[in-house]
Every structure is written in structure tokens, then in C-alpha cells.
Structure 1
């Protein structure tokens, strides 16, 4: 991956085994820029949550929270403690950016950020997941050897060089959403310009381009442009002759995404972090600050501790290569079942319109009431709940616990869930007669999810959701008690 003009490659023999090249030194400049840019993005993230009072709204004031399977034990703190977690995260981001108490700052940044990420599954975004992974990697990478407070205070630990693997693993991490995002787009819906047509039509009020966003040809053009971009951008970035063209294309792509979609820091983060594909010494060349004549390229000697760190990184890489592919072992379309959808870089692949009603039945009295779910969860939680059978099951347990606290000893929770995927005719996702308390959350396949049978339509289904049950002949449960 390194270019011939980089220090790490000047003395490298073409036949050098790749595993030895992992330890060959390269200029630290691009990794230092990556460290500072990522810390700035994290600080921006903290600022958004604090300035817009999202910490209070999503964590403190919200009485209920969605959880990830296996991490149900991670819960938000009460009162002002969540605010303090974000302040601590911000201080840690400053520490990483300045290279001040770097290792401690990187650990604190990873722990605080990942804690907030896991504490509310309703906030899931692929780039939030990516930020957690990058924060973890920076713990292992000695990105503070140069242009840092630590390097100034302890000059004997300073260096203008860093092992190749540090830069390469960051390149790998930046490549993941591009490559896996492209692979995920190789499905029937995307190849028929769905759901891009939905997403862009919501921005029809934009000046100049707005009227074009409602036209079908624009959906086709953007669908295939996005597919080609995701599949080709990493190879183009790796090849020196096309790198500048690829970076400009990536910048324009992310600027367009920032204009069309509400994905906060992600476009700007990718514009900054994709610079890791340029030569390792590009910041030095840009600033016209060549290495001091006294600096020499160090040897590639390694210690047992360094090899242990690289072993952790290797395990990390293998997991990141394999885990996003797990949806292939599940039957059905993951955009419908959501099995294997999260943490797999499956971005912008589904538009789900949903009709959903929850019902609680007091078994002893034989009374049934509708659960006012829209008054119990906030908008982001509802958005995640209605598309995910797993979250529906998890939330049913929450409703059952609330019913028991209200004095109902034996309760059954059922749901009528009608879903229109990418403009299809709506169909049931769950058997309305199924007591959701009889099924468990699991990594395995959930056979109770009704398979997708409706084909993609030439014209999207356009009936208001409140009319779906009558239109489809679905009879809602009789409500015998009101809230």
C-alpha cells in the first residue's frame, strides 16, 4: 500500500514478506493528521449532543430505552451523570487530539463513547459504530509519537516514524463502509433503484436540484452511481495514478450525502479520514517541513509486547471481515427480517412504512387493551422499534413488566405489524396471534418472522397507513379496556 517515495519503502526489497513489511517504518505524518481529525470529529459529536440537549432528551428524560442483544445490561445513568459522561468524552477527545496523556485519553474516549453508543440502541447509525471501532484502534496505535504534548514532554519517546501496520489498519477501517456498502447494494431492490427514489424525494424542496429529485431517472442514476462508487473507490484510492481523482470524487459524494441525508458528522468524518490513503508523509510535504537531517529511518525490530498488540489487531481485522457477512447464513432478506443487518455496513438499503399496534391481554380477566407505545417511546426509538422484529420482542417484555407492576399477574403481549418494504404492498411481519412473550431474543434465526412474499412494485404502494388493515382485510383485536 505504501508508495515508493515513502521512507518505509526506500530500503524495502520487493521480495520482502508482507508480514515483515508490517513492521517496516513509515512517516507518521498521515497518522498524526488522522488522530487529530478523528479527535475533532468526536469533539464535534459531543458538542452536538450537549448543545442540542440530546443527552437529556435521549438518555435522561426518556423513561425507556432500547438495547442491543447481549448488551441489555448497559443502561443510561440517571440525572446529570450522562451529561458528565459526555463532558469526560469531550476532554478525552481533546487529550487524543493534543496527544496529551494519549493512552489514557484514548482509553477514556473509547469507553465513554462506546458506553453511550450501547446505552440506547434507538440511536444506531453505522458511522456511530465506526467511531467506536476507530476509538478502539487508536488505543493500540502510537499516534502520539509526533506533534503531541507527550512527545514534547518526553522527547526520548518521540519519533517521526511509525510501523506500517498502524497506517494500514486505519486504511482498512476506512475501506470497510465503502466495500461492504457496495457489496450490500448488489441486491434486487437497489438494482431497481429502490429505495433511493424514496430518500431523495424527501428533499424535493431543495433549490435548483429539488424538482429533479422526484423524477424516476434520477433515482436510477443515483442508485447505480452509488453502487459503482462504493465498489471502485478503494481500488482507485490505492492506485497512486488515480488517487487524487478518487479523493475528489469521494469528497463530492460525501458533500452530496450531507445535503440530501441527515447523517450529521459522517460525511465530514469520511472526507477527513480518507486522506489516510495519500502517501504517509503528505502532511510534511504540504507544510514543506522535511525530516531533519539527523533523523534516520529506524529498524523494524519488534518486542513481544508489540507482537501481542499486532495479534489483537489481526483478530480485530478478521472479526471485521467476517462479522458483516453473517446475514448470509440467515434465510430470507435481511432488509425484511433485520437479521444480520446491523453492524454490517448495510446502509440506505431499506425504506419501511409500518402500521403497528401493540395489545396487552389480562389473562385472568380476559380483557385486552391497546398499548399507547407512541407515548412511551421517543421518535428515534419508535423508528428503530417498528422496523426490527428483535426490538419488537424486546419491547414486549418491557410492556409485560409494566403490566405486572400495575398488578396484572398474567399478561400476554401481541402486535399487529404490517410493513411495506421499499414500496411493496404491505404484509404481516409477525403473526397477530403470537404471544411475543413466548419467544426470546437470539443471534439465531427467528422462525416466527413471517417471510417476505410481496414482490417489488413498478409503482410504490400509496395507501395511508391507517387504512392498511381494512385494505388488506386484517381484523384488529377487539379492545375491551381503554387506557
Structure 2
């Protein structure tokens, strides 16, 4: 194993991935401006729902976020070209992490994956060939890299697909409920809708999803099935791109294929003018990075998706432990939340207009996410404190998962403005799915 990890191989896969990756980063960030995503999530809202503990992380005022994203787009092109690579990828990682932690209204797992891969790329020698850096400074130019550079990427992809597979083993996925609801709401072409909402089709999609996520990495690793698996991957991701409209993620996922093919194959296809790397042997350069950064990093990546098993309640209902766990496209949540604000001194109910403080998209997301409901209660408390009033904030919240009947979600008798958020255990004011409904006092 030690010999395999530190064996010197052609660096074509990493170089080609850098070029693809930089291009996709530019597409993601410039596209966010052009499609209105930046406007809808950072310009129009009065505030954003940042990750808890990062409430200070708010959008730049005015049109500042357009500039923020434009800078990221330029950095993406710099990564693609390999210009000032270490600085450009590090700064992009910092800025994109800011975007990710700054808002949860449009949460998407591929935003998280971008953070992780950017972080990985900060430590890999992806600029040592076919880059402006190598052209300007020939001393850094090299044709090889240690094999662990590819294996780190393969390990990251394996973790994503493994936990995505594991998460699908629950009743509403296995009986096709979720895929039926998803296709019913996302396909607008009448004749196609009629086909995709038939039982045989949505069950096929459900089990094809399990099979793909569970088998794609082993099949890509095995030489005899690699190309068939790659073709299947193209079909799978293009289908998702057309039906689900999930941005760059399908193409981002496909770009990892370069690490599964032999380096000389990638060189022959994409870098025909690159001299062949003929030397054999091992090099332990970068050993400390592998041992002291990547090994702990990968251990954390394995542990994070397991944390919901140690939190009371079903994560599909409570949402506790859902993020950072590769629980992708698993459920639909519908519901409503109304806040009851009571002046502690007069005991009178006070009016607070959610529609004046939240965009429709923010309110829709907040209605069914307990952390966002809690954050909204904290904000309501702060807004009234500015008026010199001390208040209690209660939530009348009902939620339904995968079109199930709505049940009471938040204990309406608890003052959310006075309770803490627990990252590592169940917040008992989130009612468990089997709890009896608690009458409102």
C-alpha cells in the first residue's frame, strides 16, 4: 500500500481535472450572476440565514455581491489557466466557503462538495504542467505526481456515493414515493410527464439511483467495466441535468472520471503533446501533507455523515444531522410556520410581519427547517429588543414529508427565543414524528 500511494505516475489526470474544474468554477459563479441566483439569494433579501454560529457572515451591501461573484469567476479562470495557482485556488476556496456558510435558503450538496474539492486542490500540485505558472517558472514544471493525489480524489468521491446510497434505503425511496413526487413536480412536458409518473418508470428510477450510487465507483475502478460505467455515468448525469436542472453538478461529477483511467490514457486523449512520463519508482515528497492533512480530513469526512445516527429522532423528520451528510435528493418537505410574539411585560401578543422581512423563497425554506425557524425566532427577539421590548417567541409549525399529512413540528409551548441550538444532540422542542400533538396553550 505504501509503495502504491507514493509511486510516481503521470500527472495528466490532475492537470486535466484542474482545467475542467477551473472552467466549472467560472461557469458556476458567472452563471449565478446571469441567472439571477445572486440577486435572489444575496441582493433582494434583507438578511440571509447563515449557518448557526456564523450569523455575522452576511452579504456585502448594495450590489457588492455581484462584485464578489465576479471576482470568483475570474479566480476560476485563473485556476483553469494555472496562473498564480496557489493564490487563486486558496482565495476562491475562502470566498466560496463564505458563500456556502452565508446562506441556507438555496442549500445544495454540490455547493458543499465544491468547498471540499477546492480545499483538496489547495494542497495538490495541479499547476506543474500546462499552466502559466509552469511556463513562467520552468523550475516547477514536472510530468509526474505521487499516486496518492489521484487516490485522495477517488476516496472523496467514494465517500459521497457511499453515503448517498446508504441514505436511499428508507421506505419512501424504496416504494418510489419520492421519485414519483419529484418527477410529477419537475417534468412539465405533458407526454413525458405521463410516462415518467407511471409506476414502472418511477420505480425504475428509484432503484437505478441506488444501483448507480452503489456501484459506480467499484465499476469505474475495475478495468473491464470502466468504460461501460463511464457511459452509464454520462447518461445518468445528463438525465439529471435535463430533468432536475441542478447547474454544474452533473458535469462536475463526470470530471472525476479522469482519476479512474490510467494516466497515460488521459494524456493521450487530452494532452497529446505532453511528453510521456517513463520513470518508475517512488517519492515520499508530500508525505507529511498526506499523513497530517488528508488522513484526518478523510476520517472526518467518514464520521460527519454518521452523526445523525447518534441524535435522537429520524433525520428525515427532524433534519438534525442532515447537512454535510450527502443526503441528496431524498425528500420533499411542505409546511407552514406562524410565530406568536408575546410582550413579556404586558403579556400582549405583538404583530410581526414575516412577509416584510423575508422573501417568498426564504419563507418557504424556513417553514420546514428547524434551524431556520430557531434563527428567525432569534431575529424577531433582536428586532423587538431594538424597540426596547423583551419578548417570547413561539412557533406554530406543521410539516409533512413526501406528501404525508402534516404534523406539529415545533413545540408551541416553548419560547424559542430563550432556548439554545444544540449541534450535537436532539433539540427537544423539535417534536419527534411519533410524539402526540401538543395542544397550544
Relative to the length of structure 1, the TM-score reads: 0.86
Separation (CA, whole Å) in 2 of partners of 1:64 and 1:289 = 50
For the Cα contact (< 8 Å) 1:46–1:89, is it kept in 2? yes
Separation (CA, whole Å) in 2 of partners of 1:74 and 1:379 = 21
Query: Is it true that 1:297 corresponds to 2:279 in the alignment?
Result: yes
Residue of structure 2 aligned with 1:419, choices 399, 403, 410: 399
Relative to the length of structure 2, the TM-score reads: 0.94
Residue of structure 1 aligned with 2:257, choices 245, 268, 274: 274
What are the ranges of 5 or more consecutive residues in structure 1 without an aligned counterpart? 1-17, 455-471, 478-483
Separation (CA, whole Å) in 2 of partners of 1:170 and 1:62 = 36
For the Cα contact (< 8 Å) 2:336–2:399, is it kept in 1? yes
Residue deviations 1:163-188, cap 9 Å, x none?
11111111222233322110111122
Sort the Cα spacing of 1:308 and 1:285 in 2 relative to 1 into closer, same or farther, 3 A: closer
1:445 — aligned with what? Answer: 426
For the Cα contact (< 8 Å) 1:357–1:370, is it kept in 2? no
What are the ranges of 5 or more consecutive residues in structure 2 without an aligned counterpart? none
Residue deviations 1:420-445, cap 9 Å, x none?
11122211011222211121112122
Query: Is it true that 1:30 corresponds to 2:10 in the alignment?
Result: no
Count of equivalent residues:
440
Q: Greater CA deviation, 23-32 or 200-209?
A: 200-209
Q: How much does 1:98 deviate?
A: 0.6
Q: How much does 1:379 deviate?
A: 3.5
2:355 — aligned with what? Answer: 374
Q: How much does 1:225 deviate?
A: 1.3
1:7 — aligned with what? Answer: none
Give the match's secondary structure for 1:319. helix
Query: Is it true that 1:21 corresponds to 2:1 in the alignment?
Result: no
Residue of structure 2 aligned with 1:176, choices 159, 175, 179: 159
Residue deviations 1:376-417, cap 9 Å, x none?
22233223312211221111000111122234x221111111
Residue of structure 1 aligned with 2:386, choices 405, 410, 416: 405
Sort the Cα spacing of 1:306 and 1:412 in 2 relative to 1 into closer, same or farther, 3 A: same
Q: How much does 1:231 deviate?
A: 0.8
Give the match's secondary structure for 1:196. helix
For the Cα contact (< 8 Å) 1:351–1:421, is it kept in 2? yes
Sort the Cα spacing of 1:314 and 1:474 in 2 relative to 1 into closer, same or farther, 3 A: closer
Residue of structure 1 aligned with 2:212, choices 186, 208, 229: 229
Runs of 4+ in 1 over 6 A off after TM superposition: 472-477
Residue of structure 2 aligned with 1:195, choices 175, 178, 187: 178
Sort the Cα spacing of 1:370 and 1:280 in 2 relative to 1 into closer, same or farther, 3 A: farther
1:430 — aligned with what? Answer: 410
Give the match's secondary structure for 2:45. coil
Separation (CA, whole Å) in 2 of partners of 1:337 and 1:287 = 47
Residue of structure 1 aligned with 2:72, choices 89, 106, 131: 89
Residue of structure 2 aligned with 1:118, choices 101, 110, 113: 101
Separation (CA, whole Å) in 1 of partners of 2:283 and 2:255 = 32
Separation (CA, whole Å) in 2 of partners of 1:298 and 1:107 = 32
Q: Greater CA deviation, 333-342 or 88-97?
A: 88-97
For the Cα contact (< 8 Å) 1:88–1:112, is it kept in 2? no
1:151 — aligned with what? Answer: 134
Separation (CA, whole Å) in 2 of partners of 1:163 and 1:343 = 29
Q: CA RMSD in A?
A: 2.2
Separation (CA, whole Å) in 2 of partners of 1:473 and 1:325 = 29
Residue of structure 2 aligned with 1:330, choices 286, 307, 311: 311
Separation (CA, whole Å) in 2 of partners of 1:291 and 1:248 = 26
Separation (CA, whole Å) in 2 of partners of 1:35 and 1:378 = 37
Separation (CA, whole Å) in 2 of partners of 1:187 and 1:378 = 33
Residue of structure 2 aligned with 1:284, choices 255, 261, 267: 267
Q: How much does 1:207 deviate?
A: 5.6
For the Cα contact (< 8 Å) 2:158–2:217, is it kept in 1? yes
Q: How much does 1:288 deviate?
A: 7.5
